[in-house]
Amino acid sequence: MRLNVTAPAKINISLDITGIRSDGFHLLSTVMQSLSLSDRLALSVIEGSQSEIRLTCDNDQVPCDPSNTAYRAAALFLEKAQITAGVHIDICKRIPIAAGLAGGSADAAAVLFALNHLYPGKLKMQELMELAIHIGADVPFCLSGGTVLCEGIGEKLKPLSSFADIPILLIHPGFPVSTGWVFNAYDQMPSLSRIDTSQVIKAMKEQELDKLSLATGNVLEAVTFSEYPQLQDMKSLLEQTGAPVVMMSGSGPALFAIYSSSEARETAKKAIEKKLPASARLIMTETRDAGPVIIK
């Protein structure tokens, strides 16, 4: 048996931190949004291999061992479902690594999704979600997909009105940022401004980008920018294109701009592509309504 699935990236259209649990995990209030930008995963069942997991990837920066989130997702699923067959996972990597776009989480969610289709009825959705949160905070959202308010440590999901087919221009600056470092640094900084998430949700429901710009924000942006000031320069370039909303996604370093039309996005891309450092990558994508899907 073989199955091909997508693993969509995400952006945080807002990101607020509301507290810290006793175990050190940060409590979030964040509106996450799936993108058409996605990795592609091919999963093949290996009969009689005693739960062996083989992982391959076309990007040599991706570890193909038990530290990989896709590998962990497969191991947890096979154990929970009591399946003795093995699985080969091949990842075609298109989402930039360590960029705040949930590339690793998306791959893990896609593995859970695919194995649940290869072995229907073995696990209930609630069991899949429990495995997802065990792997990482963004994995439950990536399994669900669409437009979602995520709270707690990422396990509390509230689907929101569709925000699909909105043109997005991403900048990946060409270097990774450690999520752990950003959250630790945030804890050392003085109290920052909070986000009115209810107003963010209202503006998105009405698709009023100017109102969204006034309401939204990412409390981690100041932390990452303080260490990587070149990100502020890139954000300014996006702002100069007239994009109503320009933000950093997650803990960074990826930046995104939301446009009212694909024509405006194309014009913006042409205006800034020669002004960026050679290491930076521009990606045109769109918002979408779904998480992983089966492809031919």
Which residues are identified as catalytic? 10, 138
Q: Which residues of 201-236 are buried (b: 16+ CB within 10 A; e: fewer)?
A: bebbeeeebebbbebbbbbbbbbbbeebeebbebbe
140 preceded by a cis bond (ω within 30 of 0): no
Q: Which two tokens stand for residue 118?
A: 């290869």
Note whether 167 and 261 are within 8 A (CB).
Answer: yes
